Amino acid sequence: MNNEITHFRGRYLSLLERNNWEYASRSNASGVVGIVAVTPGGEIILVEQYRRPVDSRVIELPAGLVGDQADPDESILDAARRELEEETGFLAAGLEVLMACPSSAGMTDEIITFVKATKLKQVGPGGGDESEDIEVHVIPLEDVDHWLQERASEGIPMDPKIYTALYWLKYPGDPT
């Protein structure tokens, strides 16, 4: 029996309960995309932005919601293309789905789809939309471990999905 109760529904999130388990669900999007963006020069693109839930700037992969704009039927690849340009100022001629998986299976029904973006060309400054203040970091892959360690020693939180991206870049192949 699948008893689902809605305890709260906001503009962006809902708090639900299914079979005595409470969890969060997005009420404004159909999915989430995380972008593993690599320049032709062998650099990974990361972003840094303030995140209210942790009250800190956080270093992350470029990412965003799918179907949260005017088009509720937006595809994963269209969202990846849109979010990459909006957040980083880069366009990708190559987009490839790497994997879709739960982002935090005990807390949310959210599924994140990782997309590898290649053949990049910078067309603008990035920085996000009017509600965001995003700093773009373009780091050579051979320096990224040291760069991340330095940021961590400064107390800047890192989204662990960065390390998933680095694994895929180090061991390319079918992750499924």
CA of residue 54 relative to chain centroid, distance: 16
Contacts of 134 (CB under 8 A, 6+ apart): 47, 48, 49, 87, 88, 126, 127, 128
For residue 18, tell me if it sits in a domain.
no
Distances from the Cα of 74 to the Cαs of 4, 62, 89, in angstroms? 27, 18, 20
Our separate counts of H helices and E strands in the chain read 3, 10
According to DSSP H, which parts of the chain are helical? 76-88, 144-153, 161-170
The reported pLDDT for the residue numbered 2 is 67
For residue 131, tell me if it sits in a domain.
yes
Marked catalytic residue, from 60, 110, 130, 135: 130
For residue 8, tell me if it sits in a domain.
no
For residue 95, tell me if it sits in a domain.
yes
Residues spanned by the domain of 97:
30-170
pLDDT band at 3 (very low <50, low <70, confident <90, very high): confident
Instruction: Write the pLDDT tens digit of every residue in 53-86.
Output: 999 999 999 999 998 877 888 999 999 999 999 9
Residue with tokens 């590898």: 116
For residue 153, tell me if it sits in a domain.
yes
Whether 172 has a pLDDT exceeding 80, the answer reads: no
Q: What is the CATH number of the domain that holds 129?
A: 3.90.79.10
For residue 40, tell me if it sits in a domain.
yes
Q: What percentage of residues in the chain have a pLDDT greater than 70? A: 97
The reported pLDDT for the residue numbered 30 is 87
Instruction: Please say if 87 is a catalytic residue.
Output: no
Q: Strand, coil or helix: what is 29?
A: coil
CA 48 – CA 133 distance, rounded (Å) = 8
Q: Work out how many domains the chain is built from and give that number.
A: 1
Mean pLDDT of 93-101: 96
CA 48 – CA 155 distance, rounded (Å) = 13
For residue 23, tell me if it sits in a domain.
no
For residue 69, tell me if it sits in a domain.
yes
Instruction: Write the pLDDT tens digit of every residue in 44-62.
Output: 999 999 999 999 999 999 9
